[in-house]
Amino acid sequence: MNLRSLETLVEIAEQGSFIRSAERLNMTLSTVSMQMKVLEEELGVQLFDRTRRPPQLTPMGRRVAAEAVGVLSASARLQRACTRSDSLAGNFRIGFVLTSSIRLLPGFLARARVAAREAHFAVETGLSDELAGKVVAGTLDAAVVTGGDLPRTLDTRTLTREELVYCLPKAAANWSIADCMSEMPFIHFMAKTGIGRLIARHLEAAHLTPKTVIVLDSVEAVSECVRAGVGFSILPEPDIRRAAGDDVVLRSLLDQPVMRELVLAYQAGGPFSENAERLAVLFDDALAEKEMLNRSRQMVPEDENIK
């Protein structure tokens, strides 16, 4: 068994098609088919129901694909560990913008316990501008904040990018955005925050003026108000999905996507700069593990009683 075969299996599970998987992996269809036949022989199980067109994963095939995600993730971590010349060590003061701390901080700290055992972190949360100011002042070594509009004395390393989306109450699922603007309050996440400025710029660029505006300083509060039908809003897609799940309706912004960039900010040329990339790699690993876990959950077979 080789990792390439497992990568192909995971791709098929995600794409639902041998043909699309072959195209994405830059392989011939016959090579993909042969890989899967060899994998079935090695494992001694039937991964695909070939009586169906196109062939479909069997319940056991879905289970193997879900397990393969974890194997590939572990392999990637091992390769990264073997190529690093040194690891992060020391005491560090790290800031997190509140909306990122809920989703990124747990995975980061869990990853650091394994990959950076000699590093110790003091963490605080706040708004992007406040945290960036503390990095400039030297009271924080680095901070995870919304990119853009940061002091020029700071260097940044992008960690992830998230699309902003409209979130509407289910009762307004068939409303146009223009109707929402004129008929219900727009719940605006604080305009002085990084997210708030992105939202304000989008509304201005799209020439959209809500009839009524409610300003709130919490993603959870915004989400609950939308869920309750109080109004509609714009938020990063991962935040609204985490807070409201399927209880709200999401729509892309009208003209072009607006992305919120989460960055690691630190003083350019400062004492922490040599550790910045090591710290960023911990975030990369934590985000990759979370993504792998999400993909694995999506592939879990319906029949959990298969032996």
Q: Which CATH number covers residue 70?
A: 1.10.10.10
* Cα distance between residue 102 and residue 96, in whole Å: 9
Domain of residue 43 covers: 3-83
Quick one: 169 and 25 in the same domain?
Answer: no
Q: Domains in the chain: how many in total?
A: 3
Q: What is the CATH number of the domain that holds 173?
A: 3.40.190.10
**Domain membership flag for residue 200:** yes
Largest CA distance in the chain: 66
Q: What is the mean pLDDT of residues 215-244?
A: 88
- More confident position, 75 or 28: 28
Does 10 share its domain with 68?
yes
Both ends of the chain: CA-CA distance in Å? 21
- Looking at residue 229, what is its pLDDT? 92
**Confidence (pLDDT) at 306:** 40
- Per DSSP, the residues of 47-113 read -EETTSSS-EE-HHHHHHHHHHHHHHHHHHHHHHHHH-S----EEEEEEEEHHHHHHHHHHHHHHHH
Q: Are residues 53 and 190 in the same domain?
A: no
Domain boundary among 31, 59, 83: 83
Question: How confident is the model over 85-143, as pLDDT tens digits?
Answer: 456 788 899 999 887 777 788 888 888 888 888 888 999 998 888 999 999 988 999 99
Q: What is the pTM of this model?
A: 0.64
Q: Is residue 302 part of a domain?
A: no
Q: How far apart are CA 216 and CA 225, in angstroms?
A: 10
pLDDT in tens, 145-191: 998 888 889 999 998 888 899 999 999 999 999 999 999 999 999 87
Q: Are residues 174 and 59 in the same domain?
A: no
Residues 120 and 139 in one domain: yes
Cβ–Cβ under 8 Å, residues 156 and 147: yes
Cis peptide before 55 (omega within 30 of 0): no
- Residue 193: inside a domain, yes or no? yes
DSSP 246: G
Q: Do 171 and 253 share a structural domain?
A: yes
Q: Model confidence at 305, in pLDDT bands (50, 70, 90)?
A: very low
